[in-house]
Chain A
Amino acid sequence: DAMVIQNPRYQVTQFGKPVTLSCSQTLNHNVMYWYQQKSSQAPKLLFHYYDKDFNNEADTPDNFQSRRPNTSFCFLDIRSPGLGDAAMYLCATSRDRGPSADTQYFGPGTRLTVL
């Protein structure tokens, strides 16, 4: 089945130790998104790629970076995780941009713990 896959499902890191979360998709969608979701809060968009075009949200900290080496893969790098970065990180895709392609497809998420 075509899907959005996130690895790992659970990640534990130490304060200040860089960590990378990965997302892959078999949908061949042009757009990939990274969200941060904290308990009882709405998913917060960090950034998205339209093809290779990177779009950073204005309030995303510089500590968060992303890479999209090809259509299928997208990575979230947290350079120096703080305790406040502990959250669920959701990857999503959409076929394109525009009214006929605005449905998003989500992966299961990676829960990040910072010790």
Chain B
Amino acid sequence: GNSVTQMEGPVTLSEEAFLTINCTYTATGYPSLFWYVQYPGEGLQLLLKATKADDKGSNKGFEATYRKETTSFHLEKGSVQVSDSAVYFCALSDRGSYIPTFGRGTSLIVHP
């Protein structure tokens, strides 16, 4: 079956530090890949997505590249802000069912 593995949190950084949150996946076939973000007290919202190998998704300074050879979709940001503090979920969508599979989420805490 499909699965998504994320690095355990919390990840604690100072403002303006570089962020990497690792995500690897197992899937039969050729999935679409997503990062969702959940701010405190809110629902999940789509941050970025990629639908084929070597595609780069980007939004709000965050980037992730679909790496088929390493089955990875790591999230990066060059300079984090306090307002980026949230829980980040990596997910994949199987092209057969289009039902997403989520990772456990990684909490990011950014200090001023």
- A interface residues, Cβ below 8 angstroms from B: 4, 6, 40-43, 45, 48, 90, 92, 94, 97-99, 101-109
Contacts and interface: CB of A to CB of B under 8 A. Distances in A.
Contacts of B49: 103
Contacts of B36: 104, 106
B99 A45 contact: yes
B104 A104 contact: no
Interface string B29-71: 0001010100001111110010100000000000000000000
Contact of B46 (A4, A6, A99, A104): A104
Interface residues of B, number: 23
Interface of B: 4, 32, 34, 36, 41-46, 49, 51, 89, 93, 95, 98-105
Nearest to A90: B43
A4 B46 CA distance: 14
A90 B44 contact: yes
A99 B98 CA distance: 7
Contacts of A109: 43
Given A41-B104, A45-B99, A103 B46 contact: yes
